[in-house]
Chains A and B, each alone.
Chain A
Amino acid sequence: MIAYILRSLAQGALVLLAVAFIAFSMFRFVGDPVANMVGQEATLQDRQELRERLGLERPFPVQFAIFVGNAVQGDFGVSYRQARPVSALMVERLPATLELAILSALFATVIGVGFGVYAAIRRDGFLANVVMTVSLVGVSLPTFLIGIGLIYVFAVELRWLPSFGRGETVRIGWWTTGLLTESGLKSLVLPVLTLGFFQLTLIMRLVRSEMLEVMRADFIRFARARGIPERTIEFRHALRNTLIPVVTIAGLQLGSIIAFAIVTETVFQWPGLGSLFVQAVQFADVPVMAAYLVFVAFVFVVVNLLVDLTYVLLDPRLRGGKALAK
């Protein structure tokens, strides 16, 4: 078990190192950092001095080692455009993105699993067919279209909910939250629906097909032959077996919800990491882009680790050493 965790951690560290390398390479290939930092009237000598001060004259591996060393301590340098430490910018934006992403993931998972189970049990029911048809729309419509559609209906026509921003936020330590004010909560509704809708339909369709598969298994038939009530078979025997593959996909989806909230954040002008990244791209703000890249990789690695641990929790075959070799 401990070896299993350690190996997952080591793999994660390797992935992060590889991503850090790609992020670091951007500095060399996306424009000259010195040209970005000094004004046009700077002399060649000024430039050379800055170059030495920033350590750009040192060999590439040494520079990379320093970059990784700083990154581990949360130091990604200074934003070219805003002239503030990148880490401070990211910490400022993090709560907005995390609140949006976690609420979306909760919404998608709870409703998705619920509807999926329902659609599997009532395979030929009218409501189940309606749900499946609507889910097809969710899978095929692009996120920004759903967002714009929701804005049109609920913000423009009905005027029930705001169309952009976070509303009022409350500061708790370094964390800002929109969960404690009415306008904050109202502002969350549309972005959460938009970001979660695709994941919801995906999870729902996955749960349904996995559940139908499991319901055909021998042990379900045997449970019926033992006279176990059908509800117990569905929720005790079938659902837990269904969740193992679902956790993988849902986990990866949680990663992409946090990492790629970019479209939703842009549509709703949400002051999160996604919109920070979009601005950084527009201004070739390489330190911010690099930090965002490493952050995304970090989120995926952590989520994957959690998924692996959830497997062990769900599936006793993975506990104890020998089964892990498979």
Chain B
Amino acid sequence: MSDPVLSVRDLRVEFHTRRGVLKAIDGVSFDIGKGEVLGVVGESGAGKSVTGSAVIGLIDPPGRIAGGEILLSGQRVDNLPPEEMRKVRGKRIGMIFQDPLTSLNPLYKISEQLIETITTHTDLSPTQARRRAVDLLAEVGIPAPEKRIDSYPHEFSGGMRQRVVIALALCAEPELIIADEPTTALDVSVQAQIITLLKRLGREHGTAIMLVTHDMGVIAETADRVAVMYAGRIAEIGPVHDVVQNPLHPYAEGLMGAIPTLAGEDARLVQIPGSMPRLNRIPPGCAFNPRCGYRFGRCTVDRPDPLPWRGHRVACHLYDAASGPHFLGEGKTLAAAKKPEEAA
């Protein structure tokens, strides 16, 4: 079997602050294959964006990678010297940020920014680079690219600017694109266009995409697999339709219950009580235990590790045979784990 495009192994990211060490990412592992879209969801502060920044080597100080490995097509990239890592960025890993209005330098024409990126990573001459830039703009759906290429960023709408940003990320045909909330700042109608574009580009170029968002709708629409993050760890990772329809982890169940749907008589959205703990107040045992309706004794003591379970991996003691009577054997769903008084 060929190597996955991106393989993250037991990644740990720490922020050293005056109040002590904060573990923003605590033992995260996942793979993304060629042409695959992995959605990463979670509440703000769950570590989604930090994971993306760690992969591309742009964690802001005082944060640093404290352990684990990041492999890009089988090659370690987390320990590269800065200059080598710079050459990976933009060439082998492209990144798209949340706000297209602020991602582009307002003082340079988009042609200058595109050509700059292309000539940094390839041997093309400026003339050839310009031709490639026009092709890229056409590919991301900018109308009349030969004319528009000499415009300044402020002369484009938000959606068009995000297309330019995507073109910039594609300059050197990267193996992996990290899209950090690429649609959050856009109108709903434009969001769908950008998502469609990303999906098409991933399919046509075989690019692996790591799609970071808190929008479950976007994930359900786009991703092949989804990783649900909570307090710096992966709670559950599995095929997107499975996770959306039959979430295994109680937190994933809560998240899916909070997606509004048009159909269904029960119009009330289910909330998860409480809020995610701050990084310096993560409770012992399972980080989710204070908010969990299925909690039992082991949850407040033992930290659950992600274990394989029916094609998913899930970090919950309910799916660990060692949990004794609480173990949900083959064929039982979360509902069976409800405490008797609540189920009644």
Contacts and interface: CB of A to CB of B under 8 A. Distances in A.
Given A222-B165, A225-B56, A229-B86, 7 more contacts: A218-B99, A222-B104, A225-B95, A226-B90, A226-B171, A314-B107, A317-B152
Contacts of A237: 105, 108
Given A221-B58, A222-B95, A323-B154, A228 B90 contact: yes
B87 A227 contact: yes
A270 to B, nearest CB: 40
B38 interface: no
A202 to B, nearest CB: 24
A235 interface: no
B97 interface: yes
Given A228-B90, A228-B116, A229-B86, A222 B97 contact: yes
Contacts of A232: 116
Interface of B: 56, 58, 86-91, 94-95, 97, 99, 102-109, 116-117, 120-121, 152, 154, 165, 168-169, 171-172
| B87, B104, B105: most-surrounded residue (chain A CB, <10 A) | B105
Contact of A227 (B90, B97, B103, B165): B90
Contact of B106 (A224, A227, A316): A316
Nearest to A227: B90
A219 B106 contact: yes
Interface of A: 217-219, 221-230, 232, 236-237, 240-241, 314-317, 323
Provide the main secondary structure of the chain A interface.
helix
Contacts of B172: 227
A227 B168 CA distance: 11
Nearest to B151: A316
A226 B107 contact: no
Contacts of B88: 227
A218 B102 CA distance: 6
A218 B106 contact: no
A316 B104 CA distance: 13
B57 to A, nearest CB: 9
Contacts of A224: 58, 86, 89
A206 to B, nearest CB: 19
Given A228-B120, A317-B154, A222 B87 contact: no
A225 B89 contact: yes
A316 B103 contact: no
20 contacts: A217-B102, A218-B99, A219-B102, A222-B97, A222-B103, A224-B86, A225-B169, A226-B90, A227-B88, A227-B90, A227-B91, A227-B172, A230-B86, A232-B116, A236-B116, A241-B107, A316-B109, A316-B154, A317-B106, A317-B152
